[in-house]
Structure 1
Amino acid sequence: MSKALKQSKAVLIIAFMYGDFEVYEYALKDSIENFGSIKIISEEYLFSHSIYYKEEMGENLRKRFLVFENMIERDYLVEAKKITDKIEKKYLDEKGNRKINIDPAILTLENFILATNKNFTHRIYLRDGVFADLTLIYKKKKGYTELDWTYADYSSEETKSFLNSVRDLFYNRLIESSPFGSNWK
């Protein structure tokens, strides 16, 4: 029989996609109020990987990642998704469309998992309408690697490189909270 072990903590990362920089700034303040101080804010880049959001949010969307200082328990991902959904709703336009898309995720020694409210074959139901989407897995000597279903922007070398640098930055803190020791380099 296997023994249930307390799992290592995770790094909370939130992806912001927006067309209006002012809305981003407001949502950023809301996020800090809810999740604490930010360790890193990535460079902004043009989101050109999909037209999925065009009808709802318009064109020339920008994206960036926020990495929070405080590490979290992995199951807090559900609460993070519920909070980010509330922040999104706060900034809906007059037609009920989002002005900002906010996706929380956890980065661990072994993977990167997005939270979503949409089910699909590879997603695991957590609770309260929230699913875990295994987006990237970590491979020794390769870093984070995409899967068949990984969104194009998360498959990009820029995003994987950024996430690998975050993992490197938090590595010692992640190892300290791991029941498996330092076998993840």
Structure 2
Amino acid sequence: MRPTEMLPAKLVIGVLTEESGLLRHVASALVDRFGPVDMVSPWMPFSSTSYYKAEMGEPLFRRVFSFARPVGQDALAEIKGLTNALEDDFSIHARRRVNIDPGLLLNARFLLATAKDHAHRVCIGKGIYADLTLVYRAGAFRPLPWTFPDYTEPLMIDFLTDVRRRYDALLHHTFKE
């Protein structure tokens, strides 16, 4: 079978920070690079790991942005490079104040970009890996054994389900016959 044209994906970016006031500046920088936002999650507490505590402090919170303009599925490594550069821009004395996690949402799955290799991640170029974080099955997003705990929370799943509805409507409108 020959490769077929890939559907565009919905760009979804999570921002983790201790400094809620910084989010306005980070969101503005994201919009400058990726275009308008069409959905924003509520603030979600981040307490499932202490991984970022030493660098970023606590308590940490996440807010997730969905972008109106679809992106190519092959753009994820480049997008992660841009978000890593933004993290550096907002750092003070080599200490990150934000962690920015881009992902791609499609009807069947949600992927996150990461620079950390692991058995279930696939290298997509530029030292970046795609992490299959959630699959959509039996009418809902379902976590996998390796899914980050904060992406299994009902508030996150509900938000991503709403983003999927918007994405599905966009596809139906764009590709209707």
TM-score (norm: length of structure 2): 0.94
User: RMSD between aligned alpha carbons?
Assistant: 1.5
Deviations 1:61-117 (A, max 9, x none): 1111000000111111111101100100001122x1110000000000110000011
Indicate conservation of the 8 Å contact 1:19/1:59, yes or no.
yes
What percentage of residue pairs aligned between the two structures are identical?
A: 31
RCO higher in structure (CA 8 A, sep ≥6):
1
Indicate conservation of the 8 Å contact 2:80/2:114, yes or no.
yes
Gaps of 5+ in 2: none
The answer to whether residue 159 in structure 2 is matched with residue 162 in structure 1 is yes
The number of aligned residues is: 176
Secondary structure in structure 1 of the residue aligned to 2:134: strand
Indicate conservation of the 8 Å contact 2:14/2:102, yes or no.
yes
Partner of residue 99 from structure 1, selected from 70, 81, 97: 97
User: Who is 1:10 aligned against?
Assistant: 9
Partner of residue 119 from structure 2, selected from 118, 121, 143: 121
CA distance in 2 between partners of 1:177 and 1:5 (Å):
18
TM-aligned CA distance change 1:176 to 1:121, over 3 Å: farther
CA distance in 2 between partners of 1:16 and 1:126 (Å):
22
Indicate conservation of the 8 Å contact 2:106/2:167, yes or no.
no
Indicate conservation of the 8 Å contact 2:80/2:113, yes or no.
yes
Partner of residue 150 from structure 1, selected from 147, 150, 165: 147
CA distance in 2 between partners of 1:176 and 1:64 (Å):
28
Gaps of 5+ in 1: none
TM-score (norm: length of structure 1): 0.91
CA distance in 2 between partners of 1:140 and 1:98 (Å):
39
Shift of 1:173: 2.0
| Corresponding letter in the other structure for 2:159 | F
